[in-house]
A and B are shown apart, each in its own frame.
Chain A
Amino acid sequence: GAGVSQSPSNKVTEKGKDVELRCDPISGHTALYWYRQSLGQGLEFLIYFQGNSAPDKSGLPSDRFSAERTGGSVSTLTIQRTQQEDSAVYLCASSFGTGRGDEQFFGPGTRLTVL
């Protein structure tokens, strides 16, 4: 596609429910990243994929958070038993490779609100 797309654009959920956030990277990009943007915390790295494997999950804040990527393309970030502190904008980015010179292209984000 023309750019990174994410769905849904907005998600409102009740505390304790599970949510799934989807990211479609740019076609041909092998690397995919998830970040979280919240008030007071700024932009934080969550996890990245090279192909379908996740070499770095160090940013996931708790075991309620998980992510997978299938077919080297679409990725899903799942948050189980959501808490109010999970409210944030979840950003996905993709890059052609994982070299330091590879620009990360960002999607529009999913705004998650946990009531």
Chain B
Amino acid sequence: AQSVSQHNHHVILSEAASLELGCNYSYGGTVNLFWYVQYPGQHLQLLLKYFSGDPLVKGIKGFEAEFIKSKFSFNLRKPSVQWSDTAEYFCAVIGQAGTALIFGKGTTLSVSS
């Protein structure tokens, strides 16, 4: 069965620090990869997605992610975090059936000002 693993359960950073959240997936076929974010008290929303083409994907709010096929990875990065980036981040892949999202367990990011 397909799975997504996120290496970090809770990450604590100071403002202006660089961020990298790890994500690995298990499926070896064509993949569609996503990062979703859930800010405190808000809905889950799409941060960025990868379907094909340039493996470096730019998203909203200065986030980017790099798809490395050989490593089955899709890590999320931001060069300089802000207090407002405090949230829970979920990596996800579209399943083989091509419909439902399969999520990792999430990483809570806490940024101190």
Task: Tell me the A residues contacting B by CB distance below 8 Å.
Answer: 3-4, 31, 33, 35, 41-45, 48, 55-56, 58-59, 91, 93, 98, 100-101, 103-104, 106-109
Whether A101 and B102, one on each chain, are in contact in the complex, defined by CB atoms closer than 8 angstroms, is no
Is residue B74 contacting chain A, with contact meaning CB distance below 8 A? no
Contact residues of B with A, CB < 8 Å? 32, 36, 43-46, 49, 51, 90, 92, 94-95, 97-106
Chain B CB within 10 A, most for which of A3, A48, A103, A104? A104
| Supplied contacts A3-B43, A93-B44, A106-B36, 17 more A-B pairs, CB within 8 Å | A31-B99, A35-B101, A41-B105, A42-B90, A42-B104, A43-B101, A48-B99, A56-B97, A56-B99, A56-B100, A58-B97, A59-B100, A98-B99, A100-B94, A104-B46, A108-B43, A109-B43
> How far is it, in angstroms, between the C-alpha of A104 and the C-alpha of B36 when the chains are bound?
10
